[in-house]
Each structure stands twice: as structure tokens, then as C-alpha cells.
Amino acid sequence: MDAELQNAWERIQSKYKLTGQDPMSYLEGLIQGNYTKYWDYIQVDTLLSIQHPKTDYPDELIFIMYHQITELYFKLVLHELQQITHNGKNISSDGHDLGWNAALDPEFFKMRIMRIVRYFESLTQSFDIMVDGMEPQQFLKFRMALLPASGFQSAQYRLIEMSCCPLIHLVSADQRLNLKDETSIETLLDHIYWNKGATELESGKKTLTLKHFESQYRNHFIAHAKAYAHKTVWHKFKELNLNDQAHPGLKDALRQLDLQVNVRWPLVHYKSAVRYLQRGSDSTQATGGTNWQKYLPPRFQKRIFFPDLWTSDEMERWGTF
């Protein structure tokens, strides 16, 4: 047996011996098993079978698929966030999962944050697919068939936010000071900023969109917020010693993250709402009658994950730079 083969065989043996398995049986499996094909591995058929327009307007397919693309990016974002909040997986050089690391490495931290920044940049840059890519006449028609559903009900979007910063920073801007010492997750969630975007203009009551969202996800959000009460991205940053907090590029990466998630993406998203909804008498009906003009612009929401990383002037001008 040549040296390379010998070395491979020893590594195979050591891998399977760890779990008391017979390596020869697995080699036989390799001989019997089929080749991996792209379409099986990537699940192409499944992926292409989950688009179900509710109307015959051709542009509805663009709307569905772009939302699905966004949700896939959100899943990647949550994947990176989970690695940060668990201090990063420790994988041995021969591929074994050695569990979570005991401490977070600042370079690893920065690199993961920058991955998230790039995912959001990609979403921000591609949002013109929504803004310019559908005929407004078609949009206003097929959108009515989707009520009361809204991207507002994206649970992953909320989980991303809750994984980044203490919940108090996501409380609606006018309540943040009053509730700064509040410890009950349930109370904080009762005053979460997004309630403001789901209030009926005329009656001031919760929209059906919000009622559905809460009945589907409130318990999940409470559990997530409790699990992350001390391990959001901000907590992870503060846990680092001062030297590591000053690691080159780390603070800048966190500021970029804040800006991408809380200003850049919201601004292009708002642009799409203006393009499609700010027209004629159909404008508010197509969202179920919400006050989106006063709600969506980041300068009104002033959602900031990491206020300590911004000057008071920058926070004052939030959403305008």
C-alpha cells in the first residue's frame, strides 16, 4: 500500500474506531453507494416546486421568489449569528466536531459579522428586483389576493434582530426610556417597535396581520428572547476583554451591521412601498390599512442595535446618512 493510501486508511480506522464501527463495512458502503448528483444534493426539484401564485398575474411569481430568496439569506444570517452566540464551532483538522469553543475569538467574530454585512448588502443591492421589476398595475391586483399576509410577518427577520441586541433596543422609540429597567421579556415584547407598524389607521387596533403573527410566533419569540437574554451579539462583544474589543475592524464591522440592517435595507424596502403603494385610492388597502408611511422610514423607527458605538449626533441623524 502506498504511503498516501496507508495514511488515509489509518485515518478512516481512527474515525470509525471512535464509535466502535467496522471501517470495512463503510468502505463496502462506498463501493455500493451511488454517485452524488447536483440535483439531489441541492434539492433542486424541491426548491423549484414551492412557488404557488394565488393569481394569474405573471409578476406574482417575482414577488414570491424574491421573498423566498430573502428568507434564504435570512437563514444564512441566523446561521452566522448562532455561531457567534455559541462562540464558534471547534472542528478538528480531520473534520471532527469538537463542540462549541469556550471563548469567542475576536477575528472569528469580525469575520462572521462581515459575512452578515455582505448578505444584507446583497439584499440591499438586489432590491431593485422589487422596486423596478414588477408592473405596479399587476402588483396592486395580485397583492389584494394575499391579504392579510405581509413581509411584516417574517419571523426570521425578527429573530435576527433579537439575536443582535438586548430587547430594550427593539422597544418602540417612545417607550425605550420608560422601560429601560424592565426585566420581563413579555412586557418588553408587548411594547416592541413593530406593533406600531401593525395598527389600523382608523381604529388604532391591532391589524389581523399582527394578530396572526402573534398567534403563530409569540411563544417562539419569548423563548428565543429568553435564550438570548445574555448572549446577543452585543453581549458577546461586551464579554470580550478590552484588548479584544479593540481588535482591528471589529467595531467597524458591528457599525456596518447596524447600518445595513437598520438603515440601508429598510430604506430600499421603503422605496418599494413608495413605488407601489403611494398611488391612487388603492394605496392603503393593499397593506390592510396600515400607517406604513409613518412607520417604515428608519429615521422614525430609530432602531439601533448598538447605540454605544454611535455618537449622539449620528443617532440624532439616524436614517439620513
Q: Strand, helix or coil at 91?
A: strand
The residue with cell 412601498 is: 273
Nearest distance from C-beta of residue 91 to ligand HEM, angstroms: 32
> Which is nearer to ligand HEM, 13 or 51 (by Cβ)?
51
Q: What b/e sequence results for 18-37 when a residue is b if at least 16 CB atoms lie within 10 Å of its CB, and e otherwise?
A: eeeeeeeeeeeeeeeeeeee
Contact window for ligand HEM (CB under 6 A) among 23-31, 90-98, 162-170, 285-293: 285-293
The sign of the dihedral angle between the CA atoms of 192, 196, 202, 208 is: negative
Q: How many residues bind ligand HEM (CB under 6 A)?
A: 21
Q: Which of 73, 119, 142, 157 binds ligand HEM (CB under 6 A)?
A: 157
What residues from 130 to 149 belong to the interface with ligand HEM (CB under 6 A)? Answer: 130
Q: Strand, helix or coil at 99?
A: strand
What residues from 200 to 239 belong to the interface with ligand HEM (CB under 6 A)? Answer: 209
The residue with cell 411594547 is: 191
Q: Does 302 bind ligand HEM (CB under 6 A)?
A: no
Q: Does 251 bind ligand HEM (CB under 6 A)?
A: no
Contact window for ligand HEM (CB under 6 A) among 100-108, 110-118, 152-160, 234-242: 152-160
Q: Does 277 bind ligand HEM (CB under 6 A)?
A: yes
> Which is nearer to ligand HEM, 101 or 195 (by Cβ)?
195
Q: Which residue is nearest to ligand HEM (CB)?
A: 151
Contact window for ligand HEM (CB under 6 A) among 75-83, 90-98, 113-121, 151-159: 151-159
8-state DSSP, 35? P
d(CA 170, CA 189): 9
Cβ atoms < 10 Å from Cβ of 55 = 14
Q: Does 150 bind ligand HEM (CB under 6 A)?
A: yes
The per-residue DSSP string of 41-81 comes to: HTTHHHHTT----SSS-TTHHHHHHHHHHHHHHHHHHHHHH
> Under the rule (CB under 6 A), what is the footprint of ligand HEM?
66-67, 70, 130, 150-152, 154, 157, 194, 197, 209, 269, 272-273, 276-277, 287, 290, 292, 296
